[in-house]
Amino acid sequence: MQVADAIVVGGGPAGSSCAWKLREAGLDVLVLDRAKFPRPKLCAGWVTPEAMSDLELDPNDYPLSLMTFDELHLHWKMLSAKPKSRQHSIRRFEFDEFLLQRAGATVLRHKVREIQRDGGDYIVDDAFRCKYLVGAGGTACPVYRAFFHERNPHNSALQTATYEQEFAYDWKDPACHLWFFDDGLPGYAWYVPKAGGYINVGLGGMAEQLKQQGGNVRDYWGKFVDKLTKRGLVSYDQYNPTGYSYFLRGDVDIVSDRNAYIVGDSVGLATRDMCEGIGPAIKSGLLAARAIATGEEYSLAGINRFSGGGLPSKLLERKFAGAQ
């Protein structure tokens, strides 16, 4: 049996941030992830300056693909606006691998299936033992499922459905575009150029509202890519988009229990207006690590529910999570 002070299940931004600070505090940390890194992660890869600062990363020093936008191009019906809002784009394929390596923890490829309590310890798949267990496994996190789901179920009214693709593309327009509520989509679509000749295009909406409308997020794809072509933004004939679902911030009451902690998408922490999950994932990972290292309470109180930052927050919150 392999023993560590702490096991972190999932090596995305939540898990790697937590592992990084646990290592700094002197703990022996094992990260288990079912994927081999670098791994693809469906995500537009829009990262806020606050998230970079939480990571103690100066964008100028980040050695991989990063672009900075000083304004966003927002579109709603016939209206367009360009609010000042400094944001960055990264490629998750690179970013997550970079953060995980920097964390300095032992990383093993392993899909976690079963977790048991044994006295004050946790035993994972009869192969790993630890005192502290961190669930950073995203929407289907096995730590959440084992110890938190029953008392703290995710709210289906806050579930998003997304559909997107990232690919090599010689883009010409270096702006980040967002289109809201096109054709009744209860969400928005995006065009996010990346440094190094990549682009991410996709759309997302609230899953329950899509269902009530009798459709799903895939129904909007055809019109969206037609629009990209008509606007001269992307002309591409090999689309092969993929879907993924995650939860926005609800009233999550229980995030730690007997040395087990949940962070990032396993809790459902993405913002209620823009569905931004990277920043909250990082913050929660850092807070859980601090709680483990110092014994102070782990609380989500310091993690924003809204992205704000020049974005039409109130309108989006009402539209995205109207059931709340």
205 interacts with ligand FAD by CB under 6 A: no
Between residues 26 and 272, which has the closer beta carbon with respect to ligand FAD? 272
Quote the tokens at residue 47: 């990262």
178 interacts with ligand FAD by CB under 6 A: no
Between residues 202 and 309, which has the closer beta carbon with respect to ligand FAD? 202
Q: How far is the CB of 76 from ligand FAD (least distance, A)?
A: 19
Q: How far is the CB of 28 from ligand FAD (least distance, A)?
A: 19
d(CA 247, CA 264): 10
What DSSP string describes 7-34? EEE--SHHHHHHHHHHHHTT--EEEEES
d(CA 261, CA 284): 10
Quote the tokens at residue 109: 């490829």
Convert residues 38-57 into a mask of x (bound to ligand FAD by CB under 6 A) and - (unbound).
Answer: -x-xxxxxx-----------
Convert residues 15-34 into a mask of x (bound to ligand FAD by CB under 6 A) and - (unbound).
Answer: x----------------xxx
Plot region of 126 (φ>0 → left; ψ -120 to 50 → alpha; else → beta): left
202 interacts with ligand FAD by CB under 6 A: yes
Q: How far is the CB of 192 from ligand FAD (least distance, A)?
A: 7
Residue from the set 4, 6, 7, 11 that interacts with ligand FAD by CB under 6 A: 11
- How would you classify the pairing of strands 115-118 and 106-109? unpaired
Binding to ligand FAD, residues 113-172 (CB under 6 A) = 136-138, 140, 142, 162, 164
Residue from the set 9, 18, 210, 217 that interacts with ligand FAD by CB under 6 A: 9
Q: Which long-range contacts (C-beta less than 8 Å, at least 24 apart) are formed by 98-101? A: 98/62, 98/63, 98/64, 99/13, 99/16, 99/17, 99/20, 99/55, 100/11, 100/15, 100/16, 100/19, 100/31, 100/37
One-letter amino acid at 74 equals L
Which residue's CB comes closest to ligand FAD?
A: 277
- How would you classify the pairing of strands 242-247 and 159-168? antiparallel
Interface ranges with ligand FAD (CB under 6 A) = 9-15, 32-35, 39, 41-46, 111-112, 136-138, 140, 142, 162, 164, 202, 204, 244, 246, 264-265, 270, 276-279, 281
